[in-house]
Amino acid sequence: MEKDFYEQQIIDEKGVLHSVRVTDKFVKYDGKSIPLNKINGVHIDTFKKKFPSKSILAIVAGIFLLLLPGFFKFLGLLLVIGSGAVIYLWNTNKYVGKINFETSSAVEHQLWAKGKELHKLVTMEEHILEKISDIY
């Protein structure tokens, strides 16, 4: 038997897990329920995060601190490792996206996703548009 809803777990850019369910009549997420017949359109926007350029300066400062003796060497090591981690995290999640539900009311419904979660937004958009086309 085929299930009559589509459910997806999406992690937003802040790391919060959201459960989204698309049924024959509603889109439900975070305790909100949007009737499909009230949705006029669905679209996805993607953004590229700005490169953390201050991390490069922190790495250079950390390298200079590594040249000094004692406690400064330890601080330099922490600075280089921390800045490298910031650049690595930026590189793994360069893109952020959001799906917008355009409704007839003035309430703005949107759900954000990060990096590798963007493909889930696309499949969710396809399911919502398919369900809307079934209504009309």
Tell me, yes or no, whether 14 and 41 share the same domain: yes
pLDDT tens string 48-97: 888 999 999 999 999 999 999 999 999 999 999 999 999 998 888 788 88
Q: Can you tell me the distance from the alpha carbon of 23 to that of 7, in angstroms, rounded to the nearest whole number?
A: 9
Main-chain dihedrals φ then ψ at residue 97, nearest 5 degrees: -135, 165
pLDDT tens string 94-115: 888 888 877 777 677 788 888 7
Tell me, yes or no, whether 39 and 17 share the same domain: yes
Please state, for a pLDDT cut of 90, what percent of the chain lies above it. 26
The enclosing domain of 108 has a CATH number of: 2.30.29.30
Query: What predicted TM-score, i.e. pTM, was given to this entire model?
Result: 0.63
Q: Can you tell me the distance from the alpha carbon of 42 to that of 39, in angstroms, rounded to the nearest whole number?
A: 8
Tell me, yes or no, whether 81 and 109 share the same domain: no
Q: Can you tell me the distance from the alpha carbon of 50 to that of 44, in angstroms, rounded to the nearest whole number?
A: 19
Q: Can you tell me the distance from the alpha carbon of 123 to that of 6, in angstroms, rounded to the nearest whole number?
A: 10
Structural domain that includes position 118: 6-49+97-135
Whether residue 116 lies inside any domain: the answer is yes
pLDDT tens string 6-23: 788 888 777 788 888 888
What is the reported pLDDT for 77?
Answer: 94
Give the total number of structural domains in the chain. 2
Tell me, yes or no, whether 28 and 40 share the same domain: yes
Whether residue 1 lies inside any domain: the answer is no
Helix (H, G, I), strand (E, B) or coil at 114: strand
Amino acid at 80: V
